[in-house]
Amino acid sequence: MSEDRRRELGAGDEPVEEGLAVSFNRIAHEGAERLHRTVGVMFATGFAGGLEISLGVIGYLAVDVATGNQLLAGLAFSIGLIALMLAKSELFTENFLVPIIAVAAREARLRRLFKLWGSTLLANLVSGWIIMWLVVKGFPEWTSAIVHSAHTFIDGPYDLQSMALAVLGGSVITLMTRMQHGTESDVAKIVAAVAAGFLLAGLPLFHSILDSLFIFGAIHAGGDINYLQWLVWFAWTVGFNAVGGIILVTAVRIFRTKDLVRDRRRNSPRNPDSPRGPGEQTESGD
């Protein structure tokens, strides 16, 4: 009876609120588009994402060196997230919500998700490594700030606290994606990016891509940090980023829209019982 009443009150016939249904369909459609690109396009988009998030790191360092205020520097870092949104590029950790929902809705196969993750992750790191070399050479006066920031992450013990910070880092960036897909207002999307940037860099939380840029900068600057230390830290952090983004945010959203997921799976071209038929749409390259 309550479900019937909800349908009467809403403007649509979906089994959830109208706004949630619109957001879900937008996410599923975008996720399918991301997953059906070639690996080369995925890499190029991820490479651009690394460049744009580096703008946030530059803003963070400029404010940190000038003021010594980490919270203000966190606000400056949001420049990178805003650039990422406006330029339609991608971070690896940004690809937890959108493509996973598309896979859950049978808009693409699981192996395409792994291709997207691998391509984007590698591209983010390569472009970030390059930009941080340029930053170190272009702003040698920032060297001590870069090395200090890198040690904040590298020197942290692998304990419950660092695990929690990494889980929160993955949750925040995925929640930002969820908020931005829940509105068509560019102003609201920018507000979400500023809020996420403040939390990620201002507190700071542990984020595998963002913090790797600081570590790369410290290595370029000749700090007492090496790539093996980075790799150990990265493996620990990226795993718990995934836990935060996938379990705490994405899984909850899939559960909340499970009826929409089921309906979309039923109508998927990969479903032999789909009204569209199994041959109306295929996955190129599979």
Quick one: pLDDT at residue 279? 39
Residue 145's Cα: distance from chain center in Å?
26
Q: Which of 2, 21, 6, 12 lies closest to 257, judged by CA?
A: 21
Quick one: pLDDT at residue 14? 52
For residues 23 and 20, what is the distance between their CA atoms, to the nearest angstrom? 5
Domain boundaries along the sequence of the chain: 15-266
Give the CATH fold of the 15-266 domain: Glycerol uptake facilitator protein (1.20.1080)
Structure tokens at 89: 């590029």
Q: Is 77 helix (H, G, I), strand (E, B) or coil?
A: helix
Quick one: pLDDT at residue 270? 60
For residues 71 and 202, what is the distance between their CA atoms, to the nearest angstrom? 4
For residues 136 and 232, what is the distance between their CA atoms, to the nearest angstrom? 23
**Residue 76 parent element (H or E):** helix 70-86
Quick one: pLDDT at residue 151? 96
Rg from Cα positions in the chain: 20
- In order along its 286 residues, the chain shows pLDDT tens digits of 444 544 444 444 455 567 788 889 999 999 999 999 999 999 999 999 999 999 999 999 999 999 999 999 999 999 999 999 999 999 999 999 999 999 999 999 999 999 999 999 999 999 999 999 999 999 999 999 999 999 999 998 999 999 999 999 999 999 999 999 989 999 999 999 999 999 999 999 999 999 999 999 999 999 999 999 999 999 999 999 999 999 999 999 999 999 999 999 988 666 544 444 443 444 444 4
Quick one: pLDDT at residue 20? 84
For residues 96 and 31, what is the distance between their CA atoms, to the nearest angstrom? 10
Q: Which of 118, 113, 109, 119 lies closest to 282, judged by CA?
A: 109
* Residue type (1 letter), 80: G
- Half-sphere CA count of 21, side-chain side, radius 13 A: 15
Quick one: pLDDT at residue 102? 96
Spatial neighbors of 72 by CB under 8 A, at least 6 apart, are 63, 202
